Amino acid sequence: MSDIDIIPIDPLDAEVVGAWIAMQNAVIAHDRPGDAPYSPSHQRLRLLLHASAVDVERYAARLDGVLVGSVELVFYLTDNQHLVSVELEVHPDCRRRGVGTRLVEFVEQRAAERGRDTLLAGVAESVEGGPAFDHAGREFAKARGYASVDNEIHRRNDLFAVEDDDLAKLYADAWAKAAGYELIQWVNHAPDDIVEGIAAMRARMYTDPPMGEELDIRPAVYDVARVRDEERVRADRGELQLAAAVRHVESGEVAGLTDILVPPGSETHAGQNDTIVDPSHRGRRLGTILKIANQRLLREYRPKLRYVHTWNAESNAHMIAINEAVGYRRLCRDIDVQKKLTK
Ligand SMILES: CC(C)(COP(=O)(O)OP(=O)(O)OC[C@H]1O[C@@H](n2cnc3c(N)ncnc32)[C@H](O)[C@@H]1OP(=O)(O)O)[C@@H](O)C(=O)NCCC(=O)NCCS
Protein backbone atom coordinates (compact mmCIF):
# COMPACT_ATOMS: atom_id res chain seq x y z
CA MET A 1 0.00 0.00 0.00
CA SER A 2 1.45 3.38 -1.04
CA ASP A 3 1.86 6.07 1.55
CA ILE A 4 0.49 9.57 0.73
CA ASP A 5 1.37 12.59 2.87
CA ILE A 6 0.56 16.27 2.48
CA ILE A 7 2.99 19.05 3.41
CA PRO A 8 2.80 22.85 3.19
CA ILE A 9 5.07 24.17 0.42
CA ASP A 10 7.83 26.13 2.12
CA PRO A 11 8.95 28.87 -0.33
CA LEU A 12 12.49 28.62 1.03
CA ASP A 13 12.78 24.85 0.52
CA ALA A 14 14.49 24.94 -2.89
CA GLU A 15 14.24 21.17 -3.39
CA VAL A 16 10.48 21.00 -2.75
CA VAL A 17 9.84 24.15 -4.80
CA GLY A 18 11.92 22.83 -7.74
CA ALA A 19 10.06 19.48 -7.66
CA TRP A 20 6.70 21.31 -7.44
CA ILE A 21 7.42 23.44 -10.53
CA ALA A 22 8.70 20.41 -12.50
CA MET A 23 5.51 18.47 -11.58
CA GLN A 24 3.32 21.42 -12.64
CA ASN A 25 5.04 21.65 -16.00
CA ALA A 26 4.60 17.91 -16.57
CA VAL A 27 0.86 18.49 -15.99
CA ILE A 28 0.77 21.42 -18.45
CA ALA A 29 2.59 19.38 -21.12
CA HIS A 30 0.15 16.49 -20.67
CA ASP A 31 -3.16 18.20 -19.91
CA ARG A 32 -3.06 21.61 -21.52
CA PRO A 33 -1.56 21.43 -25.05
CA GLY A 34 -0.94 24.92 -26.38
CA ASP A 35 -1.04 26.55 -22.95
CA ALA A 36 1.77 28.53 -21.34
CA PRO A 37 4.21 26.54 -19.19
CA TYR A 38 4.72 27.82 -15.66
CA SER A 39 7.63 30.22 -15.44
CA PRO A 40 9.91 28.99 -12.63
CA SER A 41 10.84 32.52 -11.58
CA HIS A 42 7.20 33.57 -11.52
CA GLN A 43 6.16 30.56 -9.47
CA ARG A 44 8.92 31.25 -6.94
CA LEU A 45 7.83 34.89 -6.63
CA ARG A 46 4.16 33.90 -6.38
CA LEU A 47 5.06 31.76 -3.37
CA LEU A 48 6.41 34.84 -1.61
CA LEU A 49 4.03 37.64 -2.67
CA HIS A 50 0.30 38.00 -3.13
CA ALA A 51 -2.28 40.81 -3.08
CA SER A 52 -3.52 41.75 0.37
CA ALA A 53 -7.17 41.11 -0.64
CA VAL A 54 -6.42 37.36 -0.63
CA ASP A 55 -4.65 34.75 1.43
CA VAL A 56 -3.00 31.84 -0.39
CA GLU A 57 -2.07 28.40 0.93
CA ARG A 58 -0.16 25.81 -1.06
CA TYR A 59 0.42 22.16 -0.24
CA ALA A 60 2.26 19.32 -1.93
CA ALA A 61 1.28 15.65 -1.89
CA ARG A 62 4.04 13.06 -1.68
CA LEU A 63 3.66 9.46 -2.70
CA ASP A 64 6.24 7.31 -0.90
CA GLY A 65 8.24 10.49 -0.27
CA VAL A 66 8.20 11.76 -3.89
CA LEU A 67 6.36 15.00 -4.71
CA VAL A 68 3.60 14.03 -7.17
CA GLY A 69 0.81 16.55 -6.67
CA SER A 70 -0.13 19.91 -5.28
CA VAL A 71 -2.96 22.21 -4.46
CA GLU A 72 -3.26 25.98 -4.28
CA LEU A 73 -6.06 27.53 -2.21
CA VAL A 74 -7.01 31.19 -2.58
CA PHE A 75 -9.11 32.65 0.26
CA TYR A 76 -10.71 36.03 -0.50
CA LEU A 77 -10.50 38.36 2.48
CA THR A 78 -12.43 41.53 1.63
CA ASP A 79 -15.32 39.98 -0.33
CA ASN A 80 -16.39 36.51 -1.42
CA GLN A 81 -15.54 35.24 2.03
CA HIS A 82 -17.66 32.14 1.38
CA LEU A 83 -15.32 31.06 -1.42
CA VAL A 84 -12.07 29.12 -1.88
CA SER A 85 -10.57 29.02 -5.34
CA VAL A 86 -8.72 25.72 -5.87
CA GLU A 87 -6.01 24.57 -8.30
CA LEU A 88 -5.25 20.88 -8.05
CA GLU A 89 -2.68 18.89 -10.00
CA VAL A 90 -1.29 15.36 -9.97
CA HIS A 91 1.66 14.23 -12.10
CA PRO A 92 0.38 12.35 -15.19
CA ASP A 93 2.50 9.29 -14.31
CA CYS A 94 1.02 8.99 -10.81
CA ARG A 95 -2.72 9.18 -11.42
CA ARG A 96 -5.58 6.88 -10.38
CA ARG A 97 -3.75 6.07 -7.15
CA GLY A 98 -5.88 8.22 -4.88
CA VAL A 99 -3.59 11.26 -4.65
CA GLY A 100 -6.16 13.66 -6.12
CA THR A 101 -8.81 12.30 -3.77
CA ARG A 102 -6.56 12.78 -0.73
CA LEU A 103 -5.85 16.35 -1.78
CA VAL A 104 -9.52 17.13 -2.29
CA GLU A 105 -10.41 15.69 1.12
CA PHE A 106 -7.68 17.85 2.61
CA VAL A 107 -8.94 20.95 0.76
CA GLU A 108 -12.51 20.44 1.92
CA GLN A 109 -11.36 20.02 5.50
CA ARG A 110 -9.19 23.13 5.28
CA ALA A 111 -12.06 25.17 3.75
CA ALA A 112 -14.39 24.10 6.55
CA GLU A 113 -11.75 24.99 9.17
CA ARG A 114 -11.60 28.49 7.71
CA GLY A 115 -15.39 28.84 7.59
CA ARG A 116 -15.76 28.64 3.79
CA ASP A 117 -18.57 26.66 2.17
CA THR A 118 -17.93 27.05 -1.58
CA LEU A 119 -15.09 25.47 -3.53
CA LEU A 120 -14.42 26.53 -7.10
CA ALA A 121 -11.97 24.91 -9.54
CA GLY A 122 -11.41 24.67 -13.30
CA VAL A 123 -11.14 21.70 -15.67
CA ALA A 124 -10.47 21.61 -19.41
CA GLU A 125 -12.25 19.97 -22.33
CA SER A 126 -11.45 19.72 -26.06
CA VAL A 127 -13.29 21.87 -28.57
CA GLU A 128 -13.84 21.20 -32.25
CA GLY A 129 -10.83 22.35 -34.23
CA GLY A 130 -8.63 22.55 -31.11
CA PRO A 131 -6.06 20.05 -29.77
CA ALA A 132 -7.21 16.84 -28.05
CA PHE A 133 -7.36 17.14 -24.26
CA ASP A 134 -7.17 14.42 -21.61
CA HIS A 135 -10.49 14.71 -19.75
CA ALA A 136 -9.12 13.37 -16.45
CA GLY A 137 -9.88 16.62 -14.60
CA ARG A 138 -13.48 16.73 -15.82
CA GLU A 139 -14.10 13.08 -14.87
CA PHE A 140 -12.37 13.46 -11.51
CA ALA A 141 -14.46 16.55 -10.65
CA LYS A 142 -17.64 14.68 -11.52
CA ALA A 143 -16.59 11.68 -9.42
CA ARG A 144 -15.80 13.93 -6.41
CA GLY A 145 -19.21 15.68 -6.50
CA TYR A 146 -18.23 18.95 -8.18
CA ALA A 147 -20.95 20.38 -10.45
CA SER A 148 -20.25 22.18 -13.74
CA VAL A 149 -21.52 25.73 -13.15
CA ASP A 150 -20.08 27.74 -16.03
CA ASN A 151 -18.20 27.37 -19.31
CA GLU A 152 -15.59 29.61 -20.78
CA ILE A 153 -13.80 29.20 -24.08
CA HIS A 154 -10.06 29.61 -23.81
CA ARG A 155 -8.78 31.33 -26.93
CA ARG A 156 -5.22 32.02 -27.98
CA ASN A 157 -3.99 34.74 -30.28
CA ASP A 158 -0.93 33.94 -32.39
CA LEU A 159 0.44 37.44 -32.80
CA PHE A 160 2.80 36.28 -35.57
CA ALA A 161 -0.27 35.44 -37.71
CA VAL A 162 -2.13 38.70 -37.18
CA GLU A 163 -2.43 40.89 -40.28
CA ASP A 164 -1.43 44.40 -39.23
CA ASP A 165 -3.26 46.00 -42.17
CA ASP A 166 -6.57 44.33 -41.21
CA LEU A 167 -6.09 45.52 -37.64
CA ALA A 168 -5.31 49.07 -38.78
CA LYS A 169 -8.53 49.19 -40.78
CA LEU A 170 -10.57 47.81 -37.87
CA TYR A 171 -8.98 50.38 -35.57
CA ALA A 172 -9.69 53.33 -37.88
CA ASP A 173 -13.31 52.19 -38.43
CA ALA A 174 -13.77 51.87 -34.67
CA TRP A 175 -12.51 55.40 -33.96
CA ALA A 176 -14.99 56.73 -36.53
CA LYS A 177 -17.73 55.53 -34.12
CA ALA A 178 -16.03 56.75 -30.95
CA ALA A 179 -15.89 60.53 -31.24
CA GLY A 180 -15.64 62.23 -27.86
CA TYR A 181 -13.39 59.58 -26.25
CA GLU A 182 -9.65 59.52 -25.65
CA LEU A 183 -7.24 56.63 -25.19
CA ILE A 184 -4.91 56.44 -22.19
CA GLN A 185 -2.21 53.75 -21.96
CA TRP A 186 0.25 52.86 -19.25
CA VAL A 187 2.64 50.25 -17.94
CA ASN A 188 2.20 48.88 -14.41
CA HIS A 189 1.01 52.08 -12.66
CA ALA A 190 -2.32 53.68 -13.65
CA PRO A 191 -2.28 57.49 -13.87
CA ASP A 192 -3.55 59.13 -10.65
CA ASP A 193 -6.35 61.03 -12.39
CA ILE A 194 -8.09 57.86 -13.63
CA VAL A 195 -7.28 55.33 -10.90
CA GLU A 196 -10.63 55.74 -9.16
CA GLY A 197 -12.39 54.97 -12.44
CA ILE A 198 -10.11 51.95 -12.88
CA ALA A 199 -11.20 50.61 -9.46
CA ALA A 200 -14.84 50.93 -10.54
CA MET A 201 -14.06 49.01 -13.76
CA ARG A 202 -12.34 46.21 -11.79
CA ALA A 203 -15.40 45.87 -9.55
CA ARG A 204 -17.62 45.54 -12.63
CA MET A 205 -15.65 42.47 -13.71
CA TYR A 206 -17.41 40.62 -10.85
CA THR A 207 -20.92 41.64 -11.92
CA ASP A 208 -21.08 42.43 -15.65
CA PRO A 209 -19.68 39.47 -17.64
CA PRO A 210 -22.29 36.75 -18.23
CA MET A 211 -22.01 34.06 -15.56
CA GLY A 212 -23.62 30.65 -14.96
CA GLU A 213 -26.60 30.88 -12.61
CA GLU A 214 -25.15 28.45 -10.07
CA LEU A 215 -21.66 30.00 -10.12
CA ASP A 216 -21.42 31.62 -6.69
CA ILE A 217 -19.12 34.60 -7.29
CA ARG A 218 -20.37 37.70 -5.46
CA PRO A 219 -19.69 41.43 -5.98
CA ALA A 220 -16.17 42.57 -5.08
CA VAL A 221 -15.08 45.50 -2.96
CA TYR A 222 -12.64 47.51 -5.09
CA ASP A 223 -11.14 50.87 -4.19
CA VAL A 224 -8.02 52.82 -5.16
CA ALA A 225 -6.01 51.19 -2.35
CA ARG A 226 -6.79 47.72 -3.77
CA VAL A 227 -5.78 48.74 -7.29
CA ARG A 228 -2.51 50.21 -6.00
CA ASP A 229 -1.81 47.15 -3.84
CA GLU A 230 -2.30 44.83 -6.84
CA GLU A 231 -0.03 47.01 -8.96
CA ARG A 232 2.66 46.91 -6.28
CA VAL A 233 2.47 43.13 -5.95
CA ARG A 234 2.60 42.62 -9.73
CA ALA A 235 5.64 44.85 -10.01
CA ASP A 236 7.35 43.08 -7.08
CA ARG A 237 6.69 39.74 -8.81
CA GLY A 238 8.30 41.04 -11.99
CA GLU A 239 5.05 40.94 -13.98
CA LEU A 240 4.69 43.39 -16.83
CA GLN A 241 1.22 44.91 -16.97
CA LEU A 242 0.27 46.67 -20.20
CA ALA A 243 -2.99 48.55 -19.89
CA ALA A 244 -5.34 50.78 -21.86
CA ALA A 245 -8.37 52.80 -20.84
CA VAL A 246 -10.77 55.02 -22.73
CA ARG A 247 -12.06 58.19 -21.12
CA HIS A 248 -15.13 60.18 -22.09
CA VAL A 249 -13.57 63.58 -22.65
CA GLU A 250 -16.50 65.79 -21.69
CA SER A 251 -17.45 64.07 -18.43
CA GLY A 252 -13.97 62.77 -17.58
CA GLU A 253 -15.50 59.33 -16.86
CA VAL A 254 -13.43 56.20 -17.38
CA ALA A 255 -15.52 54.32 -19.95
CA GLY A 256 -13.48 51.14 -20.40
CA LEU A 257 -10.36 49.20 -19.47
CA THR A 258 -8.24 46.31 -20.70
CA ASP A 259 -4.93 44.85 -19.53
CA ILE A 260 -2.44 42.16 -20.50
CA LEU A 261 -0.03 40.51 -18.06
CA VAL A 262 3.37 39.09 -19.03
CA PRO A 263 4.93 36.86 -16.35
CA PRO A 264 8.65 37.23 -15.62
CA GLY A 265 10.74 34.68 -17.49
CA SER A 266 8.18 34.19 -20.26
CA GLU A 267 9.32 35.16 -23.73
CA THR A 268 6.45 33.41 -25.53
CA HIS A 269 3.13 33.67 -23.66
CA ALA A 270 1.09 36.44 -22.05
CA GLY A 271 -2.39 36.47 -20.55
CA GLN A 272 -5.27 38.81 -21.20
CA ASN A 273 -6.64 40.04 -17.88
CA ASP A 274 -9.81 42.17 -17.56
CA THR A 275 -11.63 43.84 -20.46
CA ILE A 276 -14.68 45.91 -19.63
CA VAL A 277 -16.69 48.79 -21.07
CA ASP A 278 -19.11 50.61 -18.78
CA PRO A 279 -22.75 49.89 -19.81
CA SER A 280 -23.51 53.57 -20.43
CA HIS A 281 -20.67 53.75 -22.98
CA ARG A 282 -21.25 50.50 -24.87
CA GLY A 283 -21.95 50.21 -28.61
CA ARG A 284 -19.26 52.70 -29.64
CA ARG A 285 -16.49 50.25 -30.54
CA LEU A 286 -14.55 51.11 -27.38
CA GLY A 287 -13.86 47.41 -26.74
CA THR A 288 -12.27 47.06 -30.19
CA ILE A 289 -10.19 50.21 -29.66
CA LEU A 290 -8.96 49.00 -26.27
CA LYS A 291 -8.01 45.52 -27.48
CA ILE A 292 -6.17 46.69 -30.59
CA ALA A 293 -4.35 49.53 -28.82
CA ASN A 294 -3.20 47.23 -26.03
CA GLN A 295 -2.15 44.48 -28.45
CA ARG A 296 -0.02 47.06 -30.22
CA LEU A 297 1.53 48.18 -26.95
CA LEU A 298 2.46 44.56 -26.25
CA ARG A 299 4.03 44.21 -29.71
CA GLU A 300 6.08 47.33 -28.98
CA TYR A 301 7.28 46.11 -25.57
CA ARG A 302 7.78 42.42 -26.42
CA PRO A 303 8.05 42.08 -30.22
CA LYS A 304 9.12 38.42 -29.99
CA LEU A 305 6.32 37.33 -27.65
CA ARG A 306 3.99 35.13 -29.68
CA TYR A 307 0.82 34.10 -27.83
CA VAL A 308 -1.82 35.87 -25.76
CA HIS A 309 -4.46 33.80 -23.95
CA THR A 310 -7.98 34.87 -23.08
CA TRP A 311 -11.14 33.36 -21.56
CA ASN A 312 -14.75 34.31 -22.38
CA ALA A 313 -18.12 32.91 -21.37
CA GLU A 314 -19.59 31.11 -24.40
CA SER A 315 -22.58 33.45 -24.24
CA ASN A 316 -20.44 36.63 -24.32
CA ALA A 317 -21.08 37.26 -28.03
CA HIS A 318 -19.78 40.86 -28.16
CA MET A 319 -16.45 40.13 -26.49
CA ILE A 320 -15.97 36.99 -28.58
CA ALA A 321 -16.64 38.87 -31.84
CA ILE A 322 -13.99 41.45 -30.92
CA ASN A 323 -11.49 38.76 -29.90
CA GLU A 324 -11.98 36.76 -33.12
CA ALA A 325 -11.58 39.97 -35.13
CA VAL A 326 -8.22 40.78 -33.52
CA GLY A 327 -6.90 37.24 -34.03
CA TYR A 328 -7.96 34.97 -31.11
CA ARG A 329 -8.85 31.36 -31.97
CA ARG A 330 -10.42 28.58 -29.86
CA LEU A 331 -8.03 26.35 -27.90
CA CYS A 332 -10.28 24.53 -25.40
CA ARG A 333 -13.27 24.84 -23.11
CA ASP A 334 -12.52 25.67 -19.47
CA ILE A 335 -15.32 24.50 -17.19
CA ASP A 336 -15.86 26.00 -13.74
CA VAL A 337 -16.68 23.24 -11.28
CA GLN A 338 -18.11 24.06 -7.88
CA LYS A 339 -19.02 22.24 -4.68
CA LYS A 340 -21.05 23.52 -1.77
CA LEU A 341 -19.96 22.05 1.55
CA THR A 342 -22.75 21.07 3.87
CA LYS A 343 -22.25 21.49 7.60
C1 LIG B 1 -7.79 15.58 -11.77
C2 LIG B 1 -6.52 14.98 -11.14
C3 LIG B 1 -6.03 15.94 -10.05
C4 LIG B 1 -6.92 13.61 -10.52
O5 LIG B 1 -5.81 13.07 -9.79
P6 LIG B 1 -5.70 11.51 -9.42
O7 LIG B 1 -4.65 11.38 -8.40
O8 LIG B 1 -5.59 10.70 -10.66
O9 LIG B 1 -7.15 11.24 -8.77
P10 LIG B 1 -7.66 9.91 -8.02
O11 LIG B 1 -6.73 8.76 -8.22
O12 LIG B 1 -7.93 10.27 -6.60
O13 LIG B 1 -9.06 9.63 -8.79
C14 LIG B 1 -10.29 9.60 -8.12
C15 LIG B 1 -11.44 9.25 -9.03
O16 LIG B 1 -11.64 10.27 -10.03
C17 LIG B 1 -12.11 9.67 -11.27
N18 LIG B 1 -11.09 9.87 -12.33
C19 LIG B 1 -9.85 10.39 -12.21
N20 LIG B 1 -9.23 10.42 -13.41
C21 LIG B 1 -10.09 9.90 -14.31
C22 LIG B 1 -10.04 9.65 -15.71
N23 LIG B 1 -8.94 9.93 -16.42
N24 LIG B 1 -11.13 9.10 -16.31
C25 LIG B 1 -12.23 8.78 -15.61
N26 LIG B 1 -12.33 8.98 -14.26
C27 LIG B 1 -11.29 9.54 -13.64
C28 LIG B 1 -12.26 8.19 -10.97
O29 LIG B 1 -13.58 8.00 -10.46
C30 LIG B 1 -11.22 8.00 -9.86
O31 LIG B 1 -11.47 6.87 -9.07
P32 LIG B 1 -10.96 5.39 -9.60
O33 LIG B 1 -9.53 5.56 -10.04
O34 LIG B 1 -11.12 4.54 -8.38
O35 LIG B 1 -11.87 5.04 -10.74
C36 LIG B 1 -5.43 14.76 -12.22
O37 LIG B 1 -5.97 14.00 -13.27
C38 LIG B 1 -4.89 16.06 -12.79
O39 LIG B 1 -3.94 16.63 -12.25
N40 LIG B 1 -5.47 16.54 -13.92
C41 LIG B 1 -5.06 17.81 -14.54
C42 LIG B 1 -5.36 19.02 -13.64
C43 LIG B 1 -6.85 19.20 -13.37
O44 LIG B 1 -7.71 19.00 -14.20
N45 LIG B 1 -7.14 19.68 -12.15
C46 LIG B 1 -8.49 20.06 -11.74
C47 LIG B 1 -9.11 19.04 -10.86
S48 LIG B 1 -10.67 19.64 -10.18
Q: How far is the CA of 68 from the centre of ligand 1 (A)?
A: 13
Averaged pLDDT score across all residues of the chain: 96
Sequence length of the chain is 343
335 in Cβ contact with 125 (< 8 Å): yes
Question: Residues 219, 339, 61, CA angle at the centre, nearest 5°?
Answer: 110
Residue 343 has pLDDT above 80, yes or no: no
Residue 1 banded pLDDT, cuts 50, 70, 90: low
Q: If you take atom 11 of ligand 1, which residue's CA is the nearest one?
A: 96
Q: What is the pLDDT of residues 137-168, one digit of tens each?
A: 999 999 999 999 999 999 999 999 999 999 99
CATH code of the domain occupying 4-156:
3.40.630.30
180 in Cβ contact with 248 (< 8 Å): yes
**Binding site membership of 71 for ligand 1 (Cβ less than 6 Å):** no
Q: What is the pLDDT of residues 247-297, one digit of tens each?
A: 999 999 999 999 999 999 999 999 999 999 999 999 999 999 999 999 999
Q: How far is the CA of 89 from the centre of ligand 1 (A)?
A: 9
Q: If you take atom 47 of ligand 1, which residue's CA is the nearest one?
A: 137
- State the Cα–Cα distance between residues 13 and 25, nearest whole angstrom: 19
- pTM for the whole structure: 0.94
Q: How far does CA 171 lie from the centroid of its chain? A: 26
Q: If you take atom 44 of ligand 1, which residue's CA is the nearest one?
A: 137
Q: Pick from 59, 140, 154 the residue to mutate for probing ligand 1's pocket: most ligand atoms within 8 Å of its CB.
A: 140
33 in Cβ contact with 133 (< 8 Å): yes
Question: Residues 268, 274, 275, CA angle at the centre, nearest 5°?
Answer: 105
Tell me how crowded residue 38 is: count the other CB atoms within 10 A of its CB.
20
Q: Which CATH class is domain 157-329?
A: alpha beta
| Domains in the chain: boundaries | 4-156, 157-329
Q: What is the pLDDT of residues 24-37, one digit of tens each?
A: 999 999 999 999 99
**Binding site membership of 101 for ligand 1 (Cβ less than 6 Å):** yes
Confirm whether 4-156 and 157-329 share one CATH topology: yes
Residue 315 has pLDDT above 90, yes or no: no
**Binding site membership of 140 for ligand 1 (Cβ less than 6 Å):** yes
286-301 and 164-176 helices, crossing angle to 10°? 140
Amino acid at 244: A
Q: If you take atom 35 of ligand 1, which residue's CA is the nearest one?
A: 96
Tell me how crowded residue 250 is: count the other CB atoms within 10 A of its CB.
8
